[in-house]
Amino acid sequence: MQLGQGWPVWDWPVRVIHWYFPLAIGFMWWSGETGNLELHRWCGYSLLAAALTRLVWGFVGSYHAQFKHFLRGPAAVLAYLRGVPYQGVGHNPLGGWSTLALLLLVFVQGSTGLFSADDITFEAPLAYWVGEHAGTFTEIHELNWGILRTLIFIHIGAIAFYHFVKHQPLVAAMWRGKAEGKVSDKPPRSALWAVIIFLVFVGLLLALHNFAPQAPAYY
Ligand code: HEM
Ligand code: HEM
């Protein structure tokens, strides 16, 4: 630690996973809407593994990445909404819950995708397994996308508000890990653990992709 500066609030895994989201979700939007479903599938696996890694990191990761350190009770959220400024380090009481909501919505999006099909040529790895219910999963996949997309727009709007109106360097902090005046006094956990967790999820998804039962081929 450099004396007088402190540790990053956002560790490497939180930041890398975070900036992968806009990149990959933008691609998923394009590939989903245009029917490039083979590309959609592979990017979707990586996004699902990233969201799952961040969810697990919320239990075993660095101090400020852990849910128990930023999910606050209704009194704290209401006080924040009434205008009581948040003086702590890390997500404010409202940002904490929106973090969980965004992560769960990305998880639901990716996991329902695994059961989806486009009724023509494309079947996700678990679509055959759920048979006629694949249609229901595909509908949830589309419905959840509407909710996720709305929350992403609200998220970006809120960040723009903090940036331009309240002059808080949130984007710089999410990019560099810490910003002026906001540092952590807790050392981060080794990012290697997050890499291992990510690789375990990638391995599980590849196993599903390769070994889940598929419809017999007719020649
Ligand atoms: C697909 C788009 C996006 C998704 C799904 C997303 C999701 C999230 C999530 C889950 C967090 C919590 C971080 C964590 O603890 O893991 C977060 C925080 C944050 N995001 Fe995004 N994000 C998106 C796009 C963006 C964009 C485009 C920007 C910048 C313009 C941005 C700026 C931020 C900032 C500054 C924070 C930190 C907020 C705080 O200090 O509490 N996000 N985002
Ligand atoms: C978090 C990751 C994901 C995002 C953001 C996402 C997003 C989308 C979007 C925006 C669409 C177009 C929906 C529409 O037409 O209204 C779509 C369609 C689709 N997605 Fe995903 N998706 C994700 C993961 C996956 C995965 C992992 C799979 C399968 C391996 C998958 C399979 C499909 C299929 C089969 C469709 C076409 C459904 C149809 O034709 O009606 N998705 N997805």
- Give all domains of the chain, ordered by start, each with its CATH number: 12-211 (1.20.950.20)
CA–CA gap between residue 109 and residue 213 (Å, rounded): 22
Top pLDDT among 217 and 175 is at: 175
pLDDT above 50: residue 82:
yes
Mean pLDDT on 14-23: 98
pLDDT, position 219 = 62
Average pLDDT over all residues of the chain:
94
pLDDT band at 66 (very low <50, low <70, confident <90, very high): very high
Most confident of 2-11, 79-88, 188-197: 188-197
Beta bridge partners of 123: 117
Ligand whose nearest atom lies closest to the CA of 49: 2
Which of the listed residues 116, 150, 152, 208 should we mutate to test ligand 2's pocket, taking the one with most ligand atoms within 8 A of CB? 116
User: Residues with beta carbon inside 6 Å of ligand 1?
Assistant: 14, 18, 21-22, 25, 54, 91, 95, 99, 102-103, 106, 152, 155-156, 159, 170-171, 173-174
Mean pLDDT on 76-95: 95
pLDDT, position 215 = 77
**Atom 11 of ligand 1, nearest CA residue:** 99
Distance of CA 140 from the midpoint of ligand 1 (Å): 24
**DSSP letters of 156-203?**
HHHHHHHHHTS---HHHHHHHS-BTTB-BSSPPPPHHHHHHHHHHHHH
Instruction: Please state the three-class secondary structure of 48-94 as a single string.
Output: HHHHHHHHHHHHHCCHHHCHHHCCCCHHHHHHHHCCCCCCCCCCCHH
pLDDT, position 182 = 81
| Ligand 2 neighbourhood includes 38 CB (under 6 angstroms) | no
The percent helix, strand, coil of the chain (3-state, each to 5) is 70, 5, 30
**Atom 10 of ligand 2, nearest CA residue:** 29
